[in-house]
């Protein structure tokens, strides 16, 4: 996941109701967060699912480091078929070495 540089916007409940589609697009595309305000008091937050998961259960440092390395090598874009093929290749090599 990318590092969040989230912009937090405060919107009224009425604006949130009438502009929900636009708010959701901005959350998805720009990583923005929205605080929904009702009668001058914050009531709820709209944020991306990734930001929500990071807030509840942040990834340990070793996993973030591993993810960053995978992005640099572009192995984070492999399909399951490609991953399985790589695993099979490594297994064959290990078997050859152990003989």
pLDDT in tens, the chain (99 residues): 444 566 789 999 999 999 999 999 999 999 999 999 999 999 999 999 999 998 999 999 999 999 999 999 998 999 999 999 999 999 999 999 988
Buried b (16+ CB within 10 A) or exposed e, 30-61: ebbbbebbeeeeeeeebbbeebeeeeeeeeee
Which structural domain, as residue segments, surrounds residue 30? 1-58
What's the CATH number where 46 sits?
3.40.1620.10
CB atoms within 10 A of CB 83: 11
Q: 82 and 38, same structural domain?
A: no
* Distance separating alpha carbons of residues 64 and 72, to the nearest angstrom: 12
Per-residue pLDDT, 99: 83
Q: 65 and 46, same structural domain?
A: no
* Distance separating alpha carbons of residues 65 and 29, to the nearest angstrom: 24
């Amino acid at each position: 996941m990318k590092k969040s540089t989230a912009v937090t916007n405060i919107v009224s409940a009425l604006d949130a109701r009438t502009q929900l589609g636009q708010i959701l697009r901005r959350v998805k595309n720009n990583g923005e967060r929205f605080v929904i305000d009702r009668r001058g008091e914050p009531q709820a937050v709209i944020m991306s699912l990734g930001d929500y998961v990071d807030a509840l259960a942040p990834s340990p440092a070793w996993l973030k480091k591993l993810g960053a390395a995978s992005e640099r090598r572009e192995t984070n874009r492999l399909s399951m078929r490609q991953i399985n093929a790589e695993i099979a290749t490594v297994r064959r090599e290990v078997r050859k070495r152990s003989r």
